[in-house]
Amino acid sequence: MEFNGNKPIYLQITEGIMDQIADGEFPPDGRLPSVREYAARVEVNANTVMRAYDWLQQQHVIFNRRGIGFFVLPEAVKRIGEMRRNVFFRDEADYFFRRLASFGLTPADVAALYEDYLAKREE
């Protein structure tokens, strides 16, 4: 995993884990790799991964079974979608819509582009 300097590493790890959950790599009720296993996988200190797991637990995405490990909550995919929607509309939507307007795109143009995108994803 490559990291950038614009965001703390543990938050970049949480984004990666949420992607893996959303993509089904870590299914609901599935066990996550141990802190040490995941740290070795992404080549960071185990304390950094523990901080990421703690953050995900506080956000109600994963839970800890003491002595066994961390698991994905059944409602994690829904929770991740809600969190990402909230961030998008709070932090990114205004810029996104300004850019679309500057390109001269109409709502119909944007709808057609989005429909094309969704169709390609299903292929």
Residue 117 has what pLDDT? 94
Domain ranges in the chain?
9-75, 77-122
pLDDT-derived band at 2 (thresholds 50, 70, 90) equals: confident
* pLDDT, tens only, 80-100: 999 999 999 999 999 999 999
Burial class (CB in 10 A: 0-12, 13-18, 19+), 122: exposed
**Cα-Cα-Cα-Cα dihedral sign, residues 119, 112, 15, 61:** negative
Phi/psi-derived region of residue 30, left when phi > 0, alpha when psi is between -120 and 50, beta in every other case: beta
CATH numeric code, 9-75: 1.10.10.10
* pLDDT, tens only, 17-64: 999 999 999 999 999 999 999 999 999 999 999 999 999 999 999 999
